[in-house]
Amino acid sequence: MLGAVLSFVGMAIAARELSVELTALQILFWRSFVGALLMPILLSYYGWSQVKSSRYKMQISRGALHCLAQYGWLFGITMIPLAEVFALEFTTPIWTLILASVFLSEKFSFRRVASVGFGFVGVLLILRPGVDVIDTASIVVLGSAGLYAITYVMVKSLARTDTPLCIMFYMTYVQLLLSFIGILLNWGAPSFTLWIWVLFVGAFGLSAHFCMAEALSRSEASLVIPIDFLRLPIIMVLGYLLYSENIDSWLLAGVSLIVLGNYWNVRSIPANVTLPSSSKNIDRK
């Protein structure tokens, strides 16, 4: 799980470095391009049988929604402080709770209601509507968190029949195709000095999802997910050191409530909860 945390942080830093020359959509394309080159290497090790799926329509739909969500996240990375992007992204589990209760008929307990409440208040503290002009990029990131929540609910369904590598495979290539279509009218390639960051953003993007899937398949969610909270303090420190991004009391208060809401919900997960068997079966070839 620590690998996933460092990969997500590394991807954000790489994307910020690329933003000096590339738009968010162009960064998305090159991130997907590198991921598409690395995917066959993973599959040659774990076996191409991992990508078999009888639910390709849902896989493609999930990949398209993830593409939109990833674009929103990258747009935020290029426009607003990194800590704010990560804080708003952490509302994804809260949106997932709401969607899972509606579409998957999951129980909506008092603890989960309180978790949603904490998250909502945390967002209000960060955005401060009526006090400051709300940045458009902040709204885009919040919207991308909602889209991520939809894709997570879809993954919970897909994981009953398909492997994590299968989900990653469709996500990578659907994202590559859609982002390529999107940049045809505004093509942009990084200069030679930025190609190292292209490799980083692609490699970190793929490793983040892979490490997350591996962590969740090897341990209980109640043990794994809290480690993901390390992303926030790490990105706050790096944003301050690398880009002189200020960390004000409103952001800290909002982040604290969002993390508290997420943590409280995770603590409600039984210690012996297990993931669907298909999400564990990444058998080496």
> Between the CA of residue 270 and those of 147, 154, 274, what are the distances in Å?
27, 22, 9
**pLDDT tens over the chain, length 285 residues:** 778 888 889 999 999 999 999 999 999 999 999 999 999 998 998 888 888 888 889 999 999 999 999 999 999 999 988 888 888 887 777 777 777 777 666 666 777 677 777 777 777 777 765 555 567 888 899 899 889 888 887 887 888 888 888 988 999 999 999 999 999 988 888 899 999 999 999 999 888 877 776 766 666 555 566 667 778 788 888 888 998 888 778 778 887 887 777 777 666 655 444 444 333 444 434
The closest alpha carbon to 278, from 157, 160, 167, 170, belongs to 160
Q: Kindly report whether the global pTM for this prediction surpasses the value 0.85.
A: no
Integer Cα distance of 235 and 269 in angstroms: 27
- Please state, as a whole number, how many other Cβ atoms lie within 10 Å of the Cβ of residue 55: 17
What residue ranges do the domains of the chain occupy?
Answer: 2-270
The answer to whether 217 and 167 have CB atoms below 8 angstroms apart is no
Give the Cα separation of 27 and 123 in Å (integer).
27
